[in-house]
Every structure is written in C-alpha cells, then in structure tokens.
Amino acid sequence: MESWLRAESEQIRQTSALIGDLVDLGFSPIITSPTHDSAVRRDHTLAIIERLSSWSRASLRFPFKIFSSGPVFERGRWAESLDVEVLEDAVGPSETIIFDVLTKLITERSQLTSADNLVFVVGHLGLLRDLLGQCGLSEEEVAAVETAFAHGNWARGEQMIAHADAALLPLFRPATVESASAALDDVARRLPHLHWKAWHSELPRQLAPVPSVRWDLSLTGSWPYYSGPVFALYARGQGDALLKGGRFSVHYQDRDWHGVGFTISLPQWFGRR
C-alpha cells in the first residue's frame, strides 16, 4: 500500500511538473469534460476543437498553443493522458513548435530510464500517398493500404504494396533514418516526380537529442484525421507507446481545423506499466 501511494504521489508530482513545463513554454490549458451527452471522451483533440468552436476565428491567436489533461476511454478502459496541440489558421510550420516541446519532454523523460531504450518512430501519410500513387495505385487502393495499416492488418498492407512494387517494402517496417533515406533515394531515381526530401524537410531537424529515430511508413496513426507526419515514442520493453501524435486536419461545424499535436499516456510515460 505504501509503495503504491508513493507511486501515485510521484505520478501526480511529475504530471504537475509536465504541466508546469507546458505553461512555461506558452501553452494554455483547455479544460474538456471526460463525458458529454452520454458519450465518453476517447480523444482530447476533438474535445478541444468542440470546446473552441464557440469562439470566432478572429478571437483565436494562431499558432494557438494549448493542452488538455485527464482520462480518455480507450480499448475498454480509462487511461490518464496529457494532450498537447498547436492549432494553425492554415497548414503551417507548427512541427517546429511541437518538436521543440517533444525534444524537451523526451530529454527529461530519459532521466527516468536509459535514454538508449527510447525509440522515436515517424511515419508520413503524405509521403505514403504520394509514393503509392506514383507507383500506379488508384486512390481507392491507396486508401485500402492505409486502412489495413490503421486497423493493424500489417500483413494485408504489405501484400498490397508488394503487388504494386516490392522494392518499397523496406519503407514499411521500422528502419533507421539513414537506411530509410537510402531506400527513398533509390525509389526516387525510378519515380522522378517523388520529391521525398520536400516531405522529409517537414520533419524535425531538432530531433537530434532523441537517441534512436526510425522511419516506418506503416505507422499511420489510429485517428482518421491525421494528414501528414505521424509519430510515436516507445521505450524498449514497454508494451504501449509513451506518446502518439501527428499533423491533423479536422472539419467540424463548417470550420476547418489544422494543427500538430500529441498525447502522452501518463502511466506509460512514468513507466508504471
């Protein structure tokens, strides 16, 4: 009992420190309810957008740096989480802001475990669509590949890609940035309209402090609103991601919302599971 209470207290203390860091970095809290109209909150992003939609666009200061904390209901259970978002009035370079925050948080998180255990995995829906489209897949076929990956049927996604161009397969499994870049260079020689370095330039250069960064285009994120880079942070040996996020576009009540964000799963972040 004593050790459990100590762990609970430590999680509260460290969560408070995380929130303090976000406030110091200019992020504002948005309080959203875990239940609304008999529905439960499964995701902070949509809850935040719903909450903000009552303000006029003119009253929002873009890029709008916000966060929300509290439990979300996923996979049949409630999980404590902290959600960090940068909203834009048009698609813009918010990755820089988000990756600055991520780098700071990951550097601090690496004090809880060996930094060598952390693996940051990046996918990119824009690159995936461009790549498969240029290999001759129809929009419906590209959507089917995305759906297969999003629903966890990796083997089905791999099978469809192998049918289109087997040389692409190494890009759909975790690979170091160097080997993924070499593979993309090879592909780009055959597909002259593939400007993958333009996609790559959207990705953060400031991720250098993260010990292990990997590319994996089969990482597509679990929410349908993701539209560009998606990412997840894992700790070797832990069976759940510490955080997941990406660029999103949401159409809600006649308004388009764009931004980049991520959700930290707090028990995983603090290594409690």
Number of other residues whose CB lies within 10 A of the CB of residue 71: 14
Between the CA of residue 198 and those of 61, 193, 194, 205, 249, what are the distances in Å? 28, 11, 9, 13, 20
Nearer to other proteins by Cβ, of 60 and 115: the residue is 115
Q: Which stretch binds other proteins (CB under 8 A): 8-16, 46-54, 58-66, 235-243?
A: 235-243
Q: Give the bridge partners for 249, in sequence order.
A: 258
Cβ 10 to other proteins, closest distance in Å? 22
Cβ 240 to other proteins, closest distance in Å? 6
Cβ 80 to other proteins, closest distance in Å? 17
Answer for which of 13, 75, 77, 189 binds other proteins (CB under 8 A) is 75
For residue 52, how far is the Cα from the chain centroid?
A: 21
Cβ 214 to other proteins, closest distance in Å? 7
- Restricting to residues 114-133, name those near other proteins by CB under 8 A: 119, 121
Instruction: Give yes or no for a contact between 233 and 242, defined as CB atoms under 8 angstroms apart.
Output: yes
Answer for which of 56, 239, 253, 254 binds other proteins (CB under 8 A) is 239
Nearer to other proteins by Cβ, of 154 and 252: the residue is 154
Dmax (CA) for the chain in angstroms is: 63
Cβ 203 to other proteins, closest distance in Å? 17
How many residues make contact with other proteins (CB under 8 A)?
23
Answer for which of 44, 200, 214, 258 binds other proteins (CB under 8 A) is 214
Instruction: Give yes or no for a contact between 164 and 190, defined as CB atoms under 8 angstroms apart.
Output: no
Q: Is 216 in the site for other proteins (CB under 8 A)?
A: yes
Cβ 95 to other proteins, closest distance in Å? 20
Q: Between 138 and 167, how does the x/- string for binding to other proteins read (CB under 8 A)? A: -------------xxxxxx-----------
Nearer to other proteins by Cβ, of 128 and 191: the residue is 128
Contact footprint for other proteins (CB under 8 A): 75, 119, 121, 151-156, 173-174, 214, 216, 219, 232, 234-241
